[in-house]
Amino acid sequence: MAMEMDPEAGVRPLERTSSTIASATSVEWSSLSVTVKGKTVLQPTDGMLSSGDMLAVMGPSGCGKTTLLDAVSGRTRSHKLSGTVSFNGHTQVSFAQRSRVLSYVGQEDSLLGVFTVAESLRFAVRFYHGYGASAEETRALEEETLRLVGLESCRDTIVGDIFRKGLSGGQRRRLSLAVELVKRPAILLLDEPTSGLDSASAFGVMQRLKAMARAGHAIALTIHQPSSELWALFDNVLLLSGGHTVFYGKAAEIPSYLAAHGHACPPMYNPADFMLQLVNSDFPERYDAALVLKYGDSAERATVVAKVAEAMASSKKAPAGSSKVSPLSSFLTLCHRFSLNNAKNPGIYWVRLVMYVMLCLMIGLMYIGLGDEYDYSSINSRTSMLFYIAAFLVFMSVAVLPFFMMERSSFLRERSNGAYGVVSWVSANFLCSLPGLALISILSTACVVPLAGLNGFGTFFAALFCSLVAAEGFMCLVGALVPHYIIGIALGAGVYGFFMLCEGAFKVKDDIPPWFIWVYHIGFHSYSYRVFMYNEFEPIKEFDDSAPFASGHELLKFYSFDKVDVGRDLGALIGFGLFFQACFALVLHFFHTGRR
Ligand SMILES: Nc1ncnc2c1ncn2[C@@H]1O[C@H](COP(=O)(O)OP(=O)(O)OP(=O)(O)O)[C@@H](O)[C@H]1O
């Protein structure tokens, strides 16, 4: 019979686990509650998770399991929280300190789709153990972690994204677990680690987690439907119902506790299924509301409260966590990963590159030979074409938003688990975007300038490149400000539309109304447009008699572009790019902390 099996049979010991737990760490919580929009979604609860424990947080959907894990890990914003959380009895533990001892695997899988399982793990090893981790150590950690989550056969399978099919949902779930396991955190909080897994995989993963607990890790996980085999692996259980604690204590004691309150588990019945029916108020066939009150008055609760108070009062070593990897190491790992991701993910640069080249070829063919024309209509063609280039080629940068959003979710997970800091991520992202933007700019320039016969290849390229650098920074900032890329595209398009309107093409600078002239100055489109214009028209010494201007310089005067300082305007575009990157970093720092 399943219940008689040894649940830990056949699990190999974790060679590298014990040595890499920096110190045994416990977490205690007392009268911990969470209130959202005036509603208390987690009622005051007490409990603890110690080194060696495997705690199952259970209860019906919406009962507050994730909320509890968030509150314990510091992911709940402080104004929503009351009560105390301590680590080894220390209450003053910052989020960064918690991140060093603790890893949290959320319900969503936020992985980068182009990487294989092995590559994803390799980067995780470098984030948590340093870019300079030896090849031997990296390989050993990778291998052991692959074995832990049963993904050895998928080592070279890609995660998968909208372009290519990769891992199955259950395999992704296991990889999400694996990339945090390589950290070998003292405390591991897992939100539904078995969702999407078949029963054998779920059991295999849980067996190995149990072995990790035995080796000294403290593990808490939420789970909906544990089989009796899984149930036998849990040391402690915290049972919630509608945010209230119904039971906290040894898993083995739950059946007798419930029996003492009139709910004896029928023979041959999975105790987990039985107790979940008792606490589900949405489907109340077996629901017993009195269990909440009974637990509040019970000796079991009094014992827990006393134990938690004792643990909080005892002076133990402050949680230290694994040694912090240097920002330079994180930066190098991120540069490595961004470069590969940019090169492998067609959506980030390659699709854009094709779009730019095609469009620029069309522009070149539309205006072919324009450089040899000096009549009235050639002026109209030049100004229109340059407006289109300054406005629309920048506008196409909105295409990067959906891909940025995917990277943002992995950033959030990794940052909140202490893999790296905002500055490392933003600077690596910025640096690694430059080769792609340079390639787009050079190929676009090569398509337009020779075909149309425009002036100043180098300046044209520089203006396009610098405006794309500014646009990339702007879209990163927009991507950090909005909850979804659809809103970002609408916002980005709206702002770009406004900048285009005031860039000095539709209305020359001197005719822009005073209430909009500030847009001319803050909109980076104005800077690139006037460089494109100056670059093209200044060398034209004479137009035909049909033209309204005698020379290019005369035309530039009309546009108020006759005194353009190309170097200064290109510098301003780069300045815009850096300014947007700095704002982007600030928004990430303050608003993308992983706290909800
Ligand atoms: N920002 C919020 N605004 C309103 N209600 C919220 C908010 N966050 C959480 N809640 C409510 O808090 C309760 C607990 O949510 P939580 O996600 O912790 O449940 P859960 O037990 O993890 O559910 P599941 O098992 O389905 O993941 C739910 O009723 C949810 O609707």
pLDDT tens for 24-63 read 688 999 999 999 999 999 999 999 999 999 999 999 999 9
User: Is the pLDDT score of 15 beyond 50?
Assistant: no
Distances (CA, A) of 294 to 55, 254, 304, 335: 22, 14, 15, 56
Contact residues for 583 (Cβ-Cβ < 8 A; gap 6+): 477
Q: What pLDDT, on the 0 to 100 scale, is given for residue 17?
A: 43
62 lines ligand 1 (CB under 6 A): yes
| Mean pLDDT, range 501-520, rounded to an integer | 93
Give Cα separations from 178 to 105, 151, 152, 188, 205 (angstroms).
10, 9, 12, 12, 10
- Cα 192 to Cα 109: distance, rounded to the nearest angstrom: 11
Is the beta carbon of 38 within 6 A of some atom in ligand 1?
no
For residue 437, how far is its CA from the centre of ligand 1 (angstroms)?
42
* Averaged pLDDT for residues 69-98: 89
Which residue owns the Cα nearest ligand 1 atom 8?
36
pLDDT at 3: 39
- Choose one of 33, 43, 65 to mutate for the ligand 1 pocket test, by most ligand atoms within 8 angstroms of C-beta: 65
Question: Ligand 1 mean position to 64 CA, how many Å?
Answer: 6
Q: How far is the CA of 48 from the centre of ligand 1 (A)?
A: 21
**One-letter amino acid for residue 426 of the chain:** V
Q: Whose CA is nearest to atom 23 of ligand 1?
A: 62
The two tokens of residue 197 are 């897994």
What's the rounded mean pLDDT across residues 170-179?
Answer: 93
Residue 21 has pLDDT above 70, yes or no: no
Residue 48, helix vs strand vs coil: strand
Q: Which residues contact 270 (CB under 8 A, 6 or more apart)?
A: 226, 227, 228, 231
When pLDDT is averaged across residues 416-439 and rounded to a whole number, the result is: 95
> Which CA distances in Å does 377 have to 123, 356, 418, 452?
57, 26, 60, 14
Q: Check if the beta carbon of residue 28 is closer than 8 Å to that of residue 312.
A: yes
How many other C-beta atoms lie within 10 A of the C-beta of residue 7? 18
Residue nearest to ligand 1 atom 25, measured at CA = 61
Does ligand 1 lie within 6 Å of residue 2's CB atom?
no
- The DSSP symbol for 281 reads S
Residue 234 contacts residue 206 (beta carbons within 8 Å) = no
- Is residue 525 within 8 Å of residue 499, measured between CB atoms? yes
Burial class (CB in 10 A: 0-12, 13-18, 19+), 590: exposed
Q: What per-residue confidence (pLDDT) applies to 544?
A: 93
Using only C-alpha atoms, what is the Rg of the chain? Answer: 30
Q: What is the pLDDT of residue 16?
A: 44
Q: Which residue has the tokens 């203006």?
A: 463
What's the rounded Cα separation, in Å, for the pair 47 and 55? Answer: 10
Question: In whole angstroms, what is the distance from residue 168 CA to residue 185 CA?
Answer: 26
CA–centroid distance, residue 126 to ligand 1 (Å): 34
What six digits make up the tokens of 41? Answer: 């979604």
Q: Which residue owns the Cα nearest ligand 1 atom 16?
A: 64
Phi and psi angles of residue 286, each rounded to the nearest 5 degrees, phi first? -115, 5
Whether 306 and 47 have beta carbons less than 8 Å apart is answered as: no
14: pLDDT confidence band, cut at 50, 70 and 90? very low
> What pLDDT score was predicted for residue 542?
94
Residues 454, 536 contacting (CB under 8 angstroms): yes
Q: Give the residue among 355, 331, 352 at the shortest CA–CA distance from 342.
A: 352
Is the CB of residue 79 below 6 angstroms from any atom belonging to ligand 1? Answer: no
CB 587 within 8 A of CB 481: yes
Measure the CA–CA gap between 292 and 247, rounded to whole angstroms: 8
> For ligand 1, atom 10, which residue shows the shortest CA distance?
41
From ligand 1's centre to the CA of 74, what distance in Å?
16
Q: Please give the Cα distance from 490 to 265 (Å, whole number).
A: 56
Amino acid at 457: F
Residue 7 has pLDDT above 80, yes or no: no
Contact between residue 123 and residue 167 where contact means Cβ atoms under 8 Å apart = no
Strand 187-191 versus strand 102-105 pairing type: parallel
**What does the pLDDT read at residue 469?**
97
Cα–Cα dist 508/558, whole Å: 8
What separation in Å is there between the alpha carbon of 60 and the centre of ligand 1? 11
| Interior/surface letters 327-348, b for 16+ CB within 10 angstroms, e for the rest | eebbbbbbbbbbebbbebbbbb
DSSP conformational letter for 154: G
Q: Decide whether any atom of ligand 1 lies within 6 Å of the 58 Cβ.
A: no
Going from the Cα of 12 to the center of ligand 1, the distance in angstroms, rounded, reads: 37
Q: What are phi and psi of 432, to 5 degrees?
A: -75, -15
Q: What pLDDT is recorded for position 478?
A: 96
Q: How far is the CA of 63 from the centre of ligand 1 (A)?
A: 7
Q: Give residue 266's pLDDT.
A: 86
Residue of minimum CA distance from atom 19 in ligand 1: 62
Cβ(61) – ligand 1 distance below 6 Å: yes
Confidence grade of residue 163 (pLDDT, cut at 50, 70, 90):
confident
Count each helix (H run) and each strand (E run) in the chain, helices first.
23, 9
**Per-residue pLDDT averaged across 67-91, rounded?**
90
Report d(CA 526, CA 280) in Å as an integer: 61
Q: What does pLDDT average to over the chain? A: 90
Q: Is 444 in the pocket of ligand 1 (CB under 6 A)?
A: no
41 lines ligand 1 (CB under 6 A): yes
Give me the pLDDT at residue 320, please. 65
Backbone phi, psi, residue 557, to 5°: -60, -45
Does 96 have pLDDT greater than 90? no
- The confidence band for 11, taking pLDDT boundaries of 50, 70 and 90, is very low
pLDDT-derived band at 595 (thresholds 50, 70, 90) equals confident
The answer to whether the CB of 170 is under 6 A from ligand 1 is no
94 pLDDT tier (thresholds 50, 70, 90): confident
- Digit-coded pLDDT (tens) for 227-279: 888 999 999 999 999 999 999 999 999 999 999 988 888 888 888 888 999 98
Specify the range with the lowest mean pLDDT, choosing from 129-138, 245-254, 542-551.
129-138
The two structure tokens encoding residue 138: 């990296």
